[in-house]
Structure 1
């Protein structure tokens, strides 16, 4: 189980977005030791761009990566700012029978360029293929999103594990081995048609964090698959439903100690474990400080107003007692070592509730009162309703989802527009996730012209690798998808799906690289917590090997580029559109073309030489600052 020590209000960080504290011990992610300026951070990667040049590319991103107010003349099918909404807590949390549009007005379909379509696609999912670009141009942003919202779920993670024999006990101890969870996670990201669902599930997994790393005992891969499948299943549902499901999920129960959490015992002095009660408030719903609808912090006398105190945690912890894994449908299978192995049914669904182990004491937190002797189900409903309807929940959640998908520094107006949609989707429904995703991805600030050089965010390593894998039709030669935990920055990516080092994700939403231009301008750069000299070198080396030779049994194919190998201009233009949405500067394009023009097509043999040119072209693009910074 994963413990997070108690935190008193006086110890909380003063940043509204920093969801961690030194008092949390091992849960605190490691901060890179580098104190580089931002220009140095990005130009380390640029040394591989254009055969050692890259000054042109670096100049585009060296100042900051925030969002500026875009032009109001936006080519978008609608604007989230036109949505009605209020912060009323009496709104329904049930999705409307039909997914509401973010605007009731009828407007002519805007003309969308290839680059605009590609930019939208790379925010909404992982890739921008010719077919997808054409589809977005043909129907517009909202209609395209609606088709994805209504698409069925692909093969789930648990189904993949089962189909590949990883849910049946074997003498090699597969029921203890977590690596099959890694194989499952990468397979889920690299394959299937439901890219939007999986991209948003990945974003949710970095908000509602559960990590495979500390899970032990029987069937860690199936436990993490059950959690991943839950995020996929609920990605287009309602925040309230998702909050309840993650609270009762078996993997979450292990990770944050609701599994086996017992009521108080006067004789022994035992008290309910407070871990989940703290994190559901601090990280999964309301945050540390009271927020305005636009995400800015409310203050009193110049100090931020705290959302909760220790007594709120202590009281809320009583609600999360009496839960444990459900072994009622488990078959104990013998013949493996000296002990029976349970079948993995307990890894999915919800934990089982035992009323005899549940606290009967009254609960009082955040102004909500739950009478003594309230049933477990009713106490849970009241508590989750209180968190769901809290004024902080919309802006706290929405700002972080904007950061994951669009920009590290959304304007307060952007946050307010999306938070308004969270509070009311236009049909009286609060927490409609479809409406939230639509508001984020079609907002004027997401779809507007890129103005200045301080917009966007650093692409996460997971997203980079998944984009390359999907764009170049990755396949597994033996069907095993043997990609392991790549979170080691020395030789891997410094990040891996469902492998967070703590409940605080790989990076904090309020992280600012110290001693940089970003710090001077008080701008956020969450993903830069993963970025330093070591991780940059590790990333470039890893991608160089992956593009050319793959990883284990998994390898991409460059066949889609073979017809362009003799036309460097066309080759670079294709990569620029599909990988960056035409965001490489003229100077960077020229550097890449010059480097590729110097590659031989005859040595050691024509076929190998042509492939090497294609490998080099891809690597040069993915090492450039203008690729690394997604705008």
Structure 2
């Protein structure tokens, strides 16, 4: 038993799920143990995104799947299925091991994209090398970073494609600059950062990733290695000699060992995961503790996420180094989960993806480039930049996005909450009956909103605004204040900033 407060329990679940459902905080407080909760999540059964995408098509009466069905399948799983920590981890990994359906080669393969997301889901708690192995062999990644069909210079007369070679180092493992275990940069004698690799490393790494081809025309089956199309000559990567005569499969295994065990990978990946789950500005000591777990366990991601979410930093309050802006799409999944939204007319799937391309400026596997939707080190101009505080999510949050997200939220709460004149299965309907039942007593209603959306505490700046909305309705019309009060709580900084 940890003796967690309601706020601490709520904050933990907010980090570890796609949104807190009614009663989940109270249920967690009876357990009152973050490690035990995480352990149960590590082994909880989970649903396939590919199968759910096919189910989307079947429920719609379509013979062909689309990328929108894939995104709606993601919402189905995020909103209604278990294994929440695994789903949350897969979404975080999808922003590190990036592929994007905006790529012309991938747009027409929604099932292949869903299968790639299933790789992230299946190996979300495996060791990092295993995850990276399956990502590397995925034909989706092979096309996105142009590794599929890569041939050695002896076959073509030109150097092999360097795309995957560069990104597996820069983005997936060791990063651009040498790091201490706490994520701070190592500096040379001139007080300058030290590069982790050079052009020779890229050229030699590109030679490693030759000889891989699709299994027929499948965009789901792992790519197959052909040694007669692989560069079998000796290579040197990151100062490590790789002998000649080693086939593509065996050399891939050697290189993945080299990359995952590189001193940089633990702090680099640990920092990225901390930023996705807990805070945009982790203290070096926090990074060092998590990175040490990464190193000591061979990159076991189950152990790493446990270290991230059970660290003492997570329980700190009113601390700029334990805060982050909520990702737009996760704000929406929270709203739907908190209000137990379901399709009308006994529907079984999400039909409406909420104009996801414009509403959120992000969606699963929809990044415009391999660099994700935003930089993990983005410094917004103004006070944050002046204080050297990163806020990655603010790179995609602008007034246009805020207005569109707010409009979607208002429609959900106002039209679908208790004023609905129809019950279309193509809409998601939130359950606001408990808020309506409490609407005649401001204290009860305020407490309910605070518990569901604000970690059990009504902020001093928000309280008078909600009370003003409630007071504006006469005694017979108090239920009509509920939608506006929920909406204001949802769009408030107290909700949109996780701290």
Q: Would you say same fold, with TM above 0.5?
A: yes
| Corresponding position of 1:77 | none
| Corresponding position of 1:117 | 9
The equivalent position to 1:563 in structure 2, one of 419, 422, 437, is 437
- Asked if 1:431 corresponds to 2:299, the answer is yes
Over 3 Å counting, the alpha-carbon distance change for 1:156 and 1:488 in structure 2 is closer
**Paired residues for 1:157-176 under 5 Å:** 157-165=49-57, 174=64
Is 1:215–1:254's contact at 8 Å kept on the other side of the alignment?
A: no
| Corresponding position of 2:34 | 141
Q: Which string of whole-angstrom CA distances, capped at 9 and with x for unpartnered residues, describes residues 52-76 of structure 1?
A: xxxxxxxxxxxxxxxxxxxxxxxxx
The equivalent position to 2:219 in structure 1, one of 316, 337, 347, is 347
After alignment, is 469-478 or 280-289 more displaced? Answer: 469-478
**Distance (Å, rounded) in 2 between the aligned partners of 1:594 and 1:630:** 25
Q: Which string of whole-angstrom CA distances, capped at 9 and with x for unpartnered residues, describes residues 153-184 of structure 1?
A: 2x21111123344699967xx26x43222222
Over 3 Å counting, the alpha-carbon distance change for 1:198 and 1:452 in structure 2 is closer
| Corresponding position of 1:535 | 401
| Corresponding position of 1:204 | 93
SS in 2 for 1:586: coil
The TM-score normalised by the length of structure 2 is 0.91
**Distance (Å, rounded) in 2 between the aligned partners of 1:189 and 1:577:** 21
| Corresponding position of 1:572 | 446
Shift of 1:467: 0.7
| Corresponding position of 2:241 | 369
**Distance (Å, rounded) in 2 between the aligned partners of 1:614 and 1:234:** 42
Q: Which string of whole-angstrom CA distances, capped at 9 and with x for unpartnered residues, describes residues 12-59 of structure 1?
A: xxxxxxxxxxxxxxxxxxxxxxxxxxxxxxxxxxxxxxxxxxxxxxxx
**Paired residues for 1:309-324 under 5 Å:** 309-324=198-213
Specify every segment of 5 or more residues in structure 1 that has no aligned partner in the other structure, as ranges: 1-108, 331-345
Is 1:166–1:180's contact at 8 Å kept on the other side of the alignment?
A: no
* Structure with greater contact order relative to length (CA < 8 Å, sep ≥ 6): 1
**Distance (Å, rounded) in 1 between the aligned partners of 2:319 and 2:268:** 27
- Asked if 1:506 corresponds to 2:373, the answer is yes
In terms of fraction of residues, the more helix-rich structure is 2
Over 3 Å counting, the alpha-carbon distance change for 1:359 and 1:529 in structure 2 is same
Shift of 1:531: 2.0
| Corresponding position of 1:337 | none
Shift of 1:600: 5.3
Over 3 Å counting, the alpha-carbon distance change for 1:308 and 1:213 in structure 2 is same
**Paired residues for 1:54-453 under 5 Å:** 109-139=1-31, 140-153=33-46, 155-165=47-57, 174=64, 177-216=66-105, 220-265=109-154, 268-300=156-188, 301-327=190-216, 346-424=218-296, 429-448=297-316, 450-452=317-319
Shift of 1:392: 0.5
Q: Which string of whole-angstrom CA distances, capped at 9 and with x for unpartnered residues, describes residues 518-537 of structure 1?
A: 11111111111112222222
**Distance (Å, rounded) in 1 between the aligned partners of 2:364 and 2:267:** 25
Q: Which string of whole-angstrom CA distances, capped at 9 and with x for unpartnered residues, describes residues 454-482 of structure 1?
A: 64000001110111111112223443422
**Distance (Å, rounded) in 2 between the aligned partners of 1:218 and 1:494:** 18
- Asked if 1:616 corresponds to 2:484, the answer is yes
Is 2:280–2:390's contact at 8 Å kept on the other side of the alignment?
A: yes
**Distance (Å, rounded) in 2 between the aligned partners of 1:483 and 1:186:** 10
| Corresponding position of 2:351 | 482
Paired positions, count: 487
- Asked if 1:496 corresponds to 2:388, the answer is no
The TM-score normalised by the length of structure 1 is 0.73
Shift of 1:438: 1.0
**Distance (Å, rounded) in 2 between the aligned partners of 1:207 and 1:217:** 18
Shift of 1:298: 0.5
**Distance (Å, rounded) in 2 between the aligned partners of 1:431 and 1:387:** 11
Shift of 1:217: 6.3
**Distance (Å, rounded) in 2 between the aligned partners of 1:166 and 1:211:** 25
Over 3 Å counting, the alpha-carbon distance change for 1:137 and 1:217 in structure 2 is closer
Over 3 Å counting, the alpha-carbon distance change for 1:143 and 1:591 in structure 2 is same
| Corresponding position of 1:102 | none
**Distance (Å, rounded) in 2 between the aligned partners of 1:167 and 1:312:** 50
Is 1:277–1:316's contact at 8 Å kept on the other side of the alignment?
A: yes
Is 2:79–2:333's contact at 8 Å kept on the other side of the alignment?
A: yes
Shift of 1:257: 1.2
After alignment, is 400-409 or 119-128 more displaced? Answer: 119-128
| Corresponding position of 1:338 | none
SS in 2 for 1:304: coil
SS in 2 for 1:364: strand
Shift of 1:138: 2.3
- Asked if 1:465 corresponds to 2:358, the answer is no
| Corresponding position of 1:594 | 468
